[in-house]
Amino acid sequence: MAEVRLRRATAADQALIRQWVRDEQLDPTALHWSQFLVAEVEGEIVGIGQVRPHRRCRELGSLIVRQDYRRRGIGAQIVAALLAAEPGDVYLECLGEMAAYYARFGFEPLPWRQAPLPLKLKAGLGSLIGRLFGYRVVTMRRPRPPSLGQG
């Protein structure tokens, strides 16, 4: 496979970001290109992801890798790069079957009631809808990484 190049999204990527999120039926709120990283192979976008800023927390979200590029580590590269720029706690919501994937990056399951507002409202609604439709939604937190130099 050709080399994967990560870059910050630009305004020109906004329409594609919105379309991919809509197509994957992910959270369509706060989709501003400036929050996204994109993965490119030979100049073509093959993956996207963002850290969505909330008033009291930051949320990893909108992680999408094009179907024909999945299972090649591109999503992991996007997640690692996004988290490297985040000095504090980062939260996410995912389907229960994806919890082990995110655990690789230091995310730990968290009862949705313990999530900060406004993520708590979103997580509670996701949990309720998941129960109604027979799937499990998990809220997770990656704790603030330990500071360098502390023992």
CB 79 within 8 A of CB 105: yes
Give the integer Cα–Cα distance in Å for 59 and 6: 20
Range picked from 42-46, 108-112, 114-118 for highest mean pLDDT: 42-46
**C-alpha pair distances (Å), 84 with each of 17, 22, 90, 129:** 22, 27, 11, 32
Tokens, residue 109 = 């399951």
CB 122 within 8 A of CB 93: yes
CATH number, domain 4-142 = 3.40.630.30
Question: 13 phi and psi, to 5 degrees?
Answer: -90, -10
| Domain parsing of the chain, residue ranges | 4-142
pLDDT surpasses 90 at 151: no
pLDDT surpasses 70 at 50: yes
Give the integer Cα–Cα distance in Å for 34 and 115: 25
2 — pLDDT class (breaks 50, 70, 90):
confident
Give the integer Cα–Cα distance in Å for 37 and 135: 29
pLDDT surpasses 70 at 1: no
Q: Which residue, 99, 124, 125, 104, is CA-closest to 114?
A: 124
Indicate the residue type of 47. G
**Sheet strands (E) in the chain:** 4-8, 36-41, 44-53, 58-65, 90-95, 108-109, 137-142
Indicate the residue type of 79. V
Instruction: Say which range, 1-15, 24-38, 90-104, 107-121, has the weakest mean pLDDT.
Output: 107-121
